[in-house]
Structure formats: structure tokens, C-alpha cells
Amino acid sequence: MESVDLRAARTALREAAPLVHCLTNTVVQTLTANALLAAGAAPAMVDAPQEAGDFAALASAVLVNVGTVHERTAEAMRIAARSAGTAGTPWVLDPVAVGALAYRTALAAELVTLRPTVVRGNASEVMALAGAGAGGRGVDSTAGADDAAAAAAELARRTGGVVAVSGAVDLLTDGSRTVRVGGGSALLTRTTGAGCALGALVAAYLAVTDDPLAGAVAAHAHVALAAERAAVTAGGPGTFAAAWLDALDAVDGDTLAKADVRIAG
Amino acid sequence: MESVDLRAARTALREAAPLVHCLTNTVVQTLTANALLAAGAAPAMVDAPQEAGDFAALASAVLVNVGTVHERTAEAMRIAARSAGTAGTPWVLDPVAVGALAYRTALAAELVTLRPTVVRGNASEVMALAGAGAGGRGVDSTAGADDAAAAAAELARRTGGVVAVSGAVDLLTDGSRTVRVGGGSALLTRTTGAGCALGALVAAYLAVTDDPLAGAVAAHAHVALAAERAAVTAGGPGTFAAAWLDALDAVDGDTLAKADVRIAG
Amino acid sequence: MESVDLRAARTALREAAPLVHCLTNTVVQTLTANALLAAGAAPAMVDAPQEAGDFAALASAVLVNVGTVHERTAEAMRIAARSAGTAGTPWVLDPVAVGALAYRTALAAELVTLRPTVVRGNASEVMALAGAGAGGRGVDSTAGADDAAAAAAELARRTGGVVAVSGAVDLLTDGSRTVRVGGGSALLTRTTGAGCALGALVAAYLAVTDDPLAGAVAAHAHVALAAERAAVTAGGPGTFAAAWLDALDAVDGDTLAKADVRIAG
């Protein structure tokens, strides 16, 4: 991989307006939907087992986020992931707090066998999912993204997909190639659901790019650049969220092309 | 119908502060509650089957929105709709994504037989509910409001109530009279839950007006005017949402009386 | 009690960044998480029965809010409350709309026997929980905080904890000592979830103070001061919410020490 055509990815997202089926936690549904709308995608949250399979087959991409998972939504996630696999629809697994809690850790391990196109999490979650660590204390990572580099590469080889580790500098790998995305703002970590919305944006970009690593990189770069812009005008963590949505909308292809993306291998 | 007394409706809403019982999707609960509070109503979200019947009987109006419906909430919706009917409490059905998914399409068809005071949706949803179309790809309509005029009128005659179709220009009908409401802002369609919050505001206005068509028109005019105001100051889709809530509060009877309301028949 | 060291409590909260396990209603999860983040705490919403016990034992404090409770989440709440009790972890009960609805009233009565460290509610809810009144019409209180003074003291003696009654002036008591907290803004009552987020902040402060009454007072003072600041810049109820989060972050120990806290006995 010599470069990622961020400009083309941004333009394709706006033109295609991909329908992203989100099975995600109830804390972040609103921000996730608004982030997708701001970027130019079309969100839909459908998490009944009776509907998840049909809708995943209809959608352009699927997000599975286990943040507030329970019995019914776990079943809907299994059905949606299988349906996406059968339909050849790209899907993202966000293993929120995996490692810290046995129930979701078992579920995430099962979902990994369905081969998500991208796994996106923090270092603790990725290490736990790869079997390389016991996880953090919930949603916080107690390690940096690069600490999870080996676990991420191993997990990516196992799924045949991409693993994206969020941190001050994000690390993304498909098991052979590695890309780092810098920039962003610490205010992202003080906005509930910013990381979860990133997972949804990864799904949106997967729908409009051929190379899942390139799609995942575009989403991370988009989120980071928008956060930098929003941090300039925000008066604190509360006003940051709305400013970040405005900036997700405002960042165009030319702006995105200037993102801090470093390709290694 | 020669005119709608929008000024009186706005004043009555503030004075009565109607309690609106919302059984709605988890993506939009916060915006819906805040829109009701901004307008002067009192929201309450209660969706346990054990409580939905008692609370619907207590409330001034009820909203049933199937956006993220599943087995438990479907049961609560059936109970609440029946309770509202028995108590003579006005209620609104918002058939989100009906037509695209079999489970909710069957549920909405069942709820229609309970005769909602108002059905509010986009053109695709209303056509699907009336049996006149296959529906859109989820939450988006692939048709304009006027495309659904015949289906809306037929559905209104079947329920004995009002059907409101959202679009660039909204179309509302009770099967004989038709009213169009213009204005608004495209940013409403980029704010998750704005349409769902409109459904809740329709319920609030039903509680304070004698004519359901007039109540539904007042809610649509209120939302449209507030959106126009908010669009002036918003920096994008993120800051628009809060500005729209501020404007829902600020729009008074005198302002609402100037809304773009066109009565035909 | 001669004084509450608000400065020390504020500093301790930022330094400890306590993990607050919230089992709360779906309407307010986002604002609750963002309020905790703004204040310097770490939120996590986990409400599956399979996980609630393990997570309550891991957490620094637990919030149980029955706003949208149903069968599964009621079971998770029972498990979490028992687990917190066994682990010696402080926990807060927010009896939203108790008194108005039989199902949650019975659940809250059961949870009270598990001896919450703090009960936080409005006057109607506290009176209903103490058996001294029939409750309001849902989330609104039809009485002032001082009307619930006797019921609050009786309830506090029964649980061995603290009872906090929200109102224009808040009243907090452990059955012998009484503290009132003034200030705040009427815009808090027009922001869905502000009271619920206060309950979560009480939990956060309990984790970093030895005296539950002092911790509860610090949370109420923090919320009130931040609301006063936010009201100055807000353009209405919509922009108030984000400004309040900014202010929760900005209020430091020196500022908090100036809060309107009146100790009686």
C-alpha cells in the first residue's frame, strides 16, 4: 500500500449515501446516527431478531457494537452478522468492554468466527479479543494503540479482515500492512459515543471503497480531522459534540486528503 | 375548514402542558423529550407492558413509534393503543420504515385497526401502510408527500382520523379536507429524530385542540417555523439540533400564526 | 455537620476518575454519560442481568434509575444492587415516577430494602417511596422539596443512608442532619435527564467522599453552579444542555467552594 485516496473515498461516501445498519448500544445511538448523517451516510438502527437478518441483507454495511448487549440484541447481532456474511455485505465489530465482562467476551469471540470485515476497538479490547490480555476496566483502555500491534495483526490474520486500534495515534492493520492515523483531539475521549460513531463511519466507508484497510483509514482520518476543527471552536466537552458533527459535514475530499496518515509496509 | 387558529393552539399547549406518553424508538427518545419540553409539553417514556396501559390512560396523549420495535415494546404498544382508545385519549402512530420490513409492517397494520387519531410518516411509509406501495429502504422516503395524497386520504377514511405525510411540503388530510404546510429546512432531514419528534408534538397538540386536523397542522407549522429560525444560526447539522430546540421554545402564538399553511377543501 | 469540604470533593473526583456503573433509563443515558465525563468520572452503562452483578462489583459506585424499567432491566437492577451491597460499593436509587405506576413502585420498594446509600428524587417520588403520598403524574413533582422533609428523614432513617429531594432549593438529609442547596436554573427542568444525571453525579461523589451526605451535597452544588453558569450563555433549553456540560467541566474546587450550601443541624 503506497497511499490511500482519501479524496476519492470522501466523495464516494457523499455520492453513494450508504445505508448503514447499526446494532449498537443505546447510549450512543443518537450520536452515531447523527455522525453518519453529517458525513453523508444514511443510518438505520434495527435490532429486533425478527428484522435484523432482512435488514442486514438490505443495507450497504452493518455495525455490530456490544456496548449494552443483552440476550435479545445478542441474538439480533448473530443473525445480522451471518446475514451480512451471506450477502457479502461488509460489517464492523466493535467489542466494547470485551475482556472486562465474561458474557460479552464470549459473544465477541463467537462473532469473530463470523469474520468481521473490520474489528475496531481500543487497545485493551483488541488484546482481550485476540486472547492477549485481560482487558481494561470497561470502556477505557489501559494501554496505547501500539501496545496492541502484535495482537491486532494476529487477529487480522485470523479474520482475514482489518483490525483498527484507537488511541492518541490510531493503528490499523490487515495483518501485513500497517497504517497509523494521527491528529484528533482529547475531547473525543470526553464525548460518549465518539469511538462508537467512528465504528459506524468505518462501516459507511467500507461500503464505498474496495480495500477495507483504505476504508477504515478514511473513517479514522475523517473523525480525527473533524475533531481538530471542532476543538478550535468548542467551549468544552458539551459544545464539542455538536461542533464535531458540524465538522464531519464540513470536511470535504480536499481537506481529508491532508490528514495525518502514515503508511508502514 | 377555512383556517386553523395556530395562535390559540400554541397558547393552549403552553397553558395545558399536556403529558405525552411516548412509546418510541431508543435512537430519538432524548430529542423527542427535549422537543416536547421546549414546546411546553411534559414528556414521559414508559414502554414496559406492565405499565403502558395504566400510563396511557393517565396521559393527555400517546405516541406510538415503531422505529426500534421488538417483542416487548410491540406488546406495550398494543396495550397503550388499546388503553388510549378506551380512555378516549388521542394517539399518534408513526410507522417508521413500515413497508421495508415484514415484522413492523404487520404490527403497524394491526395498530391501524385500533384507529390512531393521527398517522404521521413519510410518503413511502404512508403508501406502504395504505397498501399502495412497497415502502422505501428504511427511514428514507423515495417519494414526495403529494405522491402519497391518494393513499393518505384512503387511510384517513379507513381510520376515521388524520394522516400526515412529511416532505419538503407536508400534506395532511382527514380524508375530505387537505392542508399543506411549507417552510422548514433541509437540516431537519439531517437531524436524527426530527421527524419522530414531530410525531410527539402532533400528540401534544392533539391534547389541546378539538379538531385533530388542526392539531396536526399546528405541530407541523411549529416544527417548520422553528427549523427556519434555527437554520439561520446553525453552523451545520450538529449545532442545528440545539438551535431548533431553542426555536421550538421561542416560537410563540403570534409567530406561529404566520406559518405557511395552505388549506384546500 | 459544620461544613462540607466541597473543594476537596471536587479535587478528589477529578483525581480518582471513579467508574460509575449506571443502570438507567434509555432517554437519559447519553446526557448521563456526558455529565460524568464532563465532571471527570468514567461512565459505563451495563444492564444485562448476565453482567450487572460482575460490573457492580468492579465499579466505584452504582446508579439504579427506574425511569424506563422493564422485566430484564429490573432483574439487572436487583442483581446490581445486591452486588454493590455485598462489595460495600455505594449506590444511588433514583425512583423516577414511583407512586404514579404500580410496577415500578413495587420494584422501588423492594430496592429500598437493599438499603441504597442515597435515594435521589423529587418530592412526589420521595413521599411515595416513604409511603407518605400518592406521587405525581409521572416525572413531574407536584410538591416542593421541603414538603417532603419529614418523609425524606423517615426514609433516610429506614435505609440508614441519605435522601436527597430535588427542587428549587434541594433538601438533603441523613435522618438527623439536613442540608439545603440553592442556586441552579429553571432550565434544568426543561432539559430531559438533568435530574437523572444528577443522580449519577451523586454516585460519582460517593466514591470519593467518606460521608455520603457530604458527597450528595457536593454533587447537588456542582450541578446547581454549573447550571447557573450555563444559563448565562444559553439561548434556550436546547443550547443550555451543552453549555451545562461545558460548565460541569469548568467548575473547579475553588468555584464549588462558593456554592449556596446551608447546613441545618
- Percent of chain A exceeding pLDDT 90 equals 92
Nearest residue in A to B97, CA atom: A44
Q: Is the pLDDT of residue A20 over 70?
A: yes
Tens digit of each residue's pLDDT (9 = 90 or more) over A212-245 = 999 999 999 999 999 999 999 999 999 999 999 9
Which segment of A102-116, A119-133, B9-23, B98-112 scores lowest on mean pLDDT? A119-133
Note whether residue A1 is domain-resident.
no
For residues A91 and A18, the answer to whether their CB atoms sit within 8 Å is no
Chain B interface, best mutation among A30, A65, A77, by max B CB count within 10 A: A30
In this prediction, residue A134 carries a pLDDT of 56
Q: Is the pLDDT of residue B135 over 90?
A: no
Strand partners, C264: C178
Q: Is the pLDDT of residue A253 over 60?
A: yes
Q: For residue C235, give the 3-state DSSP assignment.
A: coil
Per CB-CB distance under 8 Å, the chain C contacts of A236 are 38, 245-247, 249-250
Per CB-CB distance under 8 Å, the chain C contacts of B47 are 68, 70
Tens digit of each residue's pLDDT (9 = 90 or more) over A46-58 = 999 999 999 999 9
pLDDT, mean of residues A41-45: 98
Q: In Å, how far from its chain's centre is CA B148?
A: 16
Which of A33, A48, A50 has its CB closest to that of B192?
A33
B241 Cα to chain C: minimum distance (Å): 8
Note whether residue C243 is domain-resident.
yes
In this prediction, residue B88 carries a pLDDT of 98
Note whether residue B56 is domain-resident.
yes
Tens digit of each residue's pLDDT (9 = 90 or more) over C125-163 = 999 999 976 555 545 566 899 999 999 999 999 999 999
Q: Which residues of chain C have pLDDT under 50?
A: 138
Distance, in Å, from the CA atom of A55 to the CA atom of A232, rounded to the nearest integer, reads 39
Taking CB atoms and an 8 Å limit, are B235 and A244 in contact across chains? no
In this prediction, residue A1 carries a pLDDT of 75
Residues 94-153 of A with CB under 8 A from C: 97, 100-104, 137-140
Which of C29, C246, C247 has its CB closest to that of A27?
C29
The rounded mean pLDDT for chain A is: 95
pLDDT, mean of residues A127-144: 71
A84 Cα to chain B: minimum distance (Å): 16
Per CB-CB distance under 8 Å, the chain A contacts of B25 are 45
| B196 has a chain C CB within 8 A of its CB | no
Q: The domain containing residue C216 runs over which residues? A: 6-264
In this prediction, residue C133 carries a pLDDT of 64
In this prediction, residue B67 carries a pLDDT of 97
In this prediction, residue B1 carries a pLDDT of 75
| C45 has a chain B CB within 8 A of its CB | no
- Percent of chain A exceeding pLDDT 70 equals 96
Tens digit of each residue's pLDDT (9 = 90 or more) over A61-90 = 999 999 999 999 999 999 999 999 999 999
Angle at C5 between CA C3 and CA C9, to 5 degrees: 145
B71 Cα to chain C: minimum distance (Å): 13
Q: Give binding residues of C for ATP as ranges.
A: 120, 166
Note whether residue B1 is domain-resident.
no
Distance, in Å, from the CA atom of B188 to the CA atom of C94, rounded to the nearest integer, reads 34
| B241 has a chain A CB within 8 A of its CB | yes
What's the CATH code of the domain at C218? 3.40.1190.20
Taking CB atoms and an 8 Å limit, are B38 and C191 in contact across chains? no
For chain C, what is the domain count?
Answer: 1
pLDDT, mean of residues B163-175: 97
Q: Give binding residues of A for ATP as ranges.
A: 120, 166
Strands (E), chain A: 19-23, 42-45, 61-65, 91-94, 118-122, 162-166, 170-173, 178-181, 261-264
For residues C164 and C171, the answer to whether their CB atoms sit within 8 Å is yes
Tens digit of each residue's pLDDT (9 = 90 or more) over A170-204 = 999 999 999 999 999 999 999 999 999 999 999 99
Chain A interface, best mutation among C245, C248, C252, by max A CB count within 10 A: C245
B166 marked among binding-site residues: yes
Q: Is the pLDDT of residue B134 over 90?
A: no
Establish how many alpha carbons lie within 13 A of residue C127's alpha carbon, considering only the half-sphere containing its beta carbon. 20
Which cell is B255 given? Answer: 409567530
| B245 has a chain C CB within 8 A of its CB | yes
